[in-house]
Amino acid sequence: MATTTEPATWATPRPLLPELSLIAATIAYGSTFKIVQDALGRTTPIGFILLRFSIGAIALAPFAIRNGWRRRDGTDGSVSDATPRDFVRAVVLFGVVAFGGYSLQNAGLEHTSTSNSAFITGLFVVFTPLVETVARRRPPPANVIAAVALAALGLFLLTGAKPTLGRGDALTLACAACFGLWIYLGGQYAQRFDPITLTTLQMVVLAVLSVPFVLVDGIGHVDGGVLAAAAVTGVCCSALAFSLQLWGQRYIEPSRASVILLFEPVVAGIVGYFVGERLGIHGYIGAAVILTGMVLAEWRSWAQRS
């Protein structure tokens, strides 16, 4: 795992711009859960990843070539002290972790609802501080322990108050763990590398990792609807939203960023409601408990830095 480094000193953007960039990214992520779920009815989960991230990488490649891979400060043109080897390692690890998260999320969406997937994925806000705790070799604070307990209770209620998780919910929970690590890594790498170039090559890694699975399992039935979904998610949710998120994480710590990214399951839940999905009384209580746990997990850090 990458070691924790102190943020470099860079020119500070206008107030709230980093936060707004993360919110814009979450709107893109959350509003497309249903689009992805519909596409997965006709293509394989890994096949959709190949389509989505190939399109995203192609769309962003010209900007990555122009920018180069080092992070540059817009005020005086200073660059990070990272080496090419550092960048290659970062791209590979970042891409592998993202591949784990997205493949598990897509597989889970085949067996659970849009709303369940969105709220369970949102548990990354609990996993992110846990990853930071391991990286810094410090025990979790009391608020994180309480948040984990609340999140577990909320998940129990959200999934029907059953003693076991359904297949789709369990896969999505594993996805949330991957995304917790992914957000932490994003906070580290955003300090050293250009966000657009890092995003582009991360998507290349995702596409390359998909190829062996597609060769074995096939890609499914690719029609106009699947291609449209891949194009929307590839350009809006990958090329654009990934870049916005990494740019925002230059100035916002991973744990605080994860709180802002909680807006994603809220957006997805709203979309799910309007397309006719209902969670039921236990589900809505569970979703509220999960959101409470998410906020509690980061409340101390959020309050100190607000």
Q: What is the pLDDT of residues 1-42, one digit of tens each?
A: 343 444 444 455 566 788 889 889 988 888 887 788 888 889
pLDDT of 80 higher than 70: no
pLDDT at residue 275, as a whole number: 67
Average pLDDT over residues 120-146: 80
Residue 219 to residue 230: CA distance in whole angstroms: 13
- For the packed helices 263-274 and 17-30, what is the interaxial angle rounded to 10 degrees? 40
Concatenating the DSSP letter of every residue in 116-157 gives HHHHHHTTHHHHHHHHHHHHHT-PPPHHHHHHHHHHHHHHHH
The overall pTM is greater than 0.75? yes
Range of the domain at 263: 33-69+81-305
Residues 6+ apart with CB under 8 A from 23: 260, 263
Residue 76 lies in a domain: no
Query: How far does CA 231 lie from the centroid of its chain?
Result: 18
Q: Where residue 94 falls among pLDDT bands split at 50, 70, 90?
A: very high
Q: What is the tens place of the pLDDT at every residue in 181-217?
A: 998 998 888 888 888 899 999 999 999 999 999 999 8
Q: How far from 187 is each of 100, 184, 247, 289, CA to CA, in Å?
A: 18, 5, 9, 27
**Tokens representing 78?**
């200073």
pLDDT at residue 91, as a whole number: 93
Give the single-character DSSP code of 239.
Answer: I
Residue 11 to residue 21: CA distance in whole angstroms: 16
**Tokens representing 28?**
């893109």
pLDDT at residue 13, as a whole number: 59
Residue 3 lies in a domain: no
Residue 26 lies in a domain: no
Query: What's the CA dihedral at 144, 149, 154, 157 to 10 degrees?
Result: 170
Number of domains in the chain: 1
Whether 19 contacts 242, CB under 8 Å: no
Average pLDDT, the chain: 81
Average pLDDT over residues 155-163: 67
Residue 260 to residue 29: CA distance in whole angstroms: 13
Average pLDDT over residues 273-280: 70
Residue 173 lies in a domain: yes
Neighbouring CB atoms inside 10 A of 123's CB total 27
